[in-house]
Amino acid sequence: MTFAGSGDGESGSERAHFVLVPMMAQGHTIPMTDMARLLAEHGAQVSFITTPVNAARLEGFAADVKAAGLAVQLVELHFPAAEFGLPDGCENLDMIQSKNLFLNFMETCAALQEPLMAYLREQQRSPPSCIISDMMHWWTGDIARELGIPRLTFSGFCGFSSLVRYIIFHNNLLEHVTDDNELITIPGFPTLLELTKAKLPGTLCVPGMEQIREKMYEEELRCDGEITNSFKELETLYIESYEQIARKKVWTIGPMCLCHRNSNTTAARGNKAPMDEAQCLQWLDSRKPGSVIFVSFGSLACTTPQQIVELGLGLEASKKPFIWVIKAGPKFPEVEEWLADGFEERVKDRGMIIRGWAPQVMILWHQAIGGFVTHCGWNSTIEGICAGVPMITWPHFAEQFLNEKLVVDVLKLGVEVGVQGVTQWGSEQQEVMVTRDAVETAVNTLMGEGEATEELRMRAEDCAIKARRAFDEEGSSYNNVRLLIQEMENKTNACG
């Protein structure tokens, strides 16, 4: 167990003690590190549950909260990977080599139930007040019931996508749809929404996924509320509808990444970036404000080599400065060969290529960035919203196509690059989903001068201002964090 902050329960049992149980995948863990920081900044105590390999990745976070004197404690539980047929040390979804191992991974997570229960029972000086668990950790429901404390879930989705997901499941909407290309209208959604089956969440074909999904949903129905990394003013209609339809409290406390707004802690989010951050900042400083396009597809999307090449050629043809994050790694050596075979040399005056992990928020929030090509993972989307830059949407899988709809059709903060098909997680598709011409056109539209683009920019700036207002003192998200802590404190004191 690693102690990261101060306030080791010494202030007594009145202080609410939140137990955060993130899914071990960067897109799920990173927002929960922000959540931990946020709750602790507002006076709560936080136990952050992790495993040894993931704890090593969280060193930057642990150092930051310690330096800030926050009461955040990293609790390392042994992850019995080998017992469930996983390679030793395989403790994160981004380490799984085949989607056939997904079920093994989920079973290993569920095996954390007993050690977590034992750890929580030991906390007699400062008993837990509440569990906030990733929705995928359905097994935390039993722990909360046994301890007699509330369990809130965190899905990582925005309100818009959460509502769609809820409607799909509760109406068994996809059960009898055999054609992936069939257009489905979402019944009861507050605005007209149509998408093909393949582009809706809940269609990931991973062996064992159905069983997990059932358990997750059952436990979600029993939970005491949900935490959402969004803000009320962004999607009021959808959040209110979701609360009404699902009949549960939805606590919007985001954008949680804004807890880094006044500090230099953005670079420490997630993995350690392999590149020199100072050099990256120097490069950005040398560019005109709003002139650079940032291209990044999150932590899990697997873009094929053919598609990477096509994207690169589109960026080159646009003639715009860019930072491009490529995660081909050793899996696709042909990408490295292609980069070395002239591309990097041709674009060296205006392009920066980052291999592997990038300090995304540090880059996105730099004034040189004027546009963001994103896969529409919700974290990236909300980070882009906070940056106040318009987006080019390039969804791959899961709820990313829904986030695209929200960004382009509802909020009008971006343009679609025009993805036709789904690039499923863990599948080895070979087709090119987006041509170089489509990339060039979208980049030139977003980074160009036209009236429509100017409007996109103004809306993006306006939205970033609203995000800050919601997050700052007396804003809707700020007040929700306070109310949430108060509610848990009242419950703790009533029981104690």
Chain centroid, CA 462 distance in Å: 22
Query: Six-digit token pair at 454?
Result: 């100017």
% helix / strand / coil in the chain, to the nearest 5?
Answer: 50, 15, 40
Least separation in angstroms between residue 362's CB and ligand UDP is 8
Residue 141 or 414: which CB sits closer to ligand UDP? 414
Half-sphere exposure of 399 (CA within 13 A, CB side): 22
Report the residue number whose CB is nearest to ligand UDP.
27
- Which lies closer to ligand UDP via its Cβ, residue 361 or residue 413? 361
Query: Residue 396 class from Cβ within 10 Å (0-12 exposed, 13-18 middle, 19+ buried)?
Result: buried
Find, among 61, 56, 59, the residue nearest to 38 by Cα.
61
Task: State which residue, 147 or 460, has the beta carbon closest to ligand UDP.
Answer: 460
Q: Which of the residues 17, 64, 134, 366 is marked catalytic?
A: 134
| Three-class SS state of 205 | coil
- Distance of closest approach, residue 16 Cβ to ligand UDP, in angstroms: 26
- Measured from the CB atom, the residue of 22 and 370 that comes closer to ligand UDP is 22
- Please indicate whether residue 28 is annotated as part of the active site: yes
Catalytic residue among 17, 28, 137, 375: 28
Supply the minimum distance, in Å, between the C-beta of residue 375 and ligand UDP: 6
- What is the spatial distance between Cα 383 and Cα 158, in angstroms, rounded to a whole number? 13
Are 344 and 266 in contact by the 8 Å Cβ rule? The answer is no
Measured from the CB atom, the residue of 141 and 371 that comes closer to ligand UDP is: 371
User: Min. distance of Cβ 430 from ligand UDP in angstroms?
Assistant: 21
When the beta carbons of 225 and 254 are compared against ligand UDP, the nearer one is: 254
Peptide bond into 395 cis (omega under 30): no
**CA quadruple 161, 167, 172, 174: dihedral positive or negative?**
negative
* Alpha helix segments (H runs only) across 390-435: 400-405
Which helix or strand (DSSP H or E) is residue 124 part of?
Answer: none
State the nearest-atom distance from the C-beta of 353 to ligand UDP, in Å: 12
341 is catalytic: no
CA 190 to chain centre: 25
Dist CA 140 CA 153 (whole Å): 10
Q: Which residues are paired to 228 by β-bridges?
A: 252
Q: Measured from the CB of residue 254, what is the shortest distance to ligand UDP in angstroms?
A: 12
Task: Say which DSSP state 396 is in.
Answer: -
Work out the burial of residue 66: count CB atoms within 10 Å of its CB; fewer than 13 is exposed, 13-18 middle, 19 or more buried: middle
Q: Give dist(CA 121, CA 99) in Å, integer.
A: 35
Least distance from ligand UDP to the Cβ atom of residue 121, Å:
33
Q: How far is the CB of 129 from ligand UDP (least distance, A)?
A: 27
User: How many other CB atoms sit within 10 Å of the CB of residue 272?
Assistant: 14
* CA-CA-CA-CA torsion sign (212, 429, 324, 364): negative
Footprint of ligand UDP (CB under 6 A): 26-27, 30, 269-270, 296, 298-301, 325, 357-358, 360-361, 377-380, 383
Between 112 and 354, CB nearer to ligand UDP: 354
293/319 Cα distance (integer angstroms): 11
Q: How far apart are CA 154 and CA 402, in angstroms?
A: 18
Q: Which is nearer to ligand UDP, 45 or 303 (by Cβ)?
A: 303
Question: How long is the chain?
Answer: 496
Active site residues: 28, 134
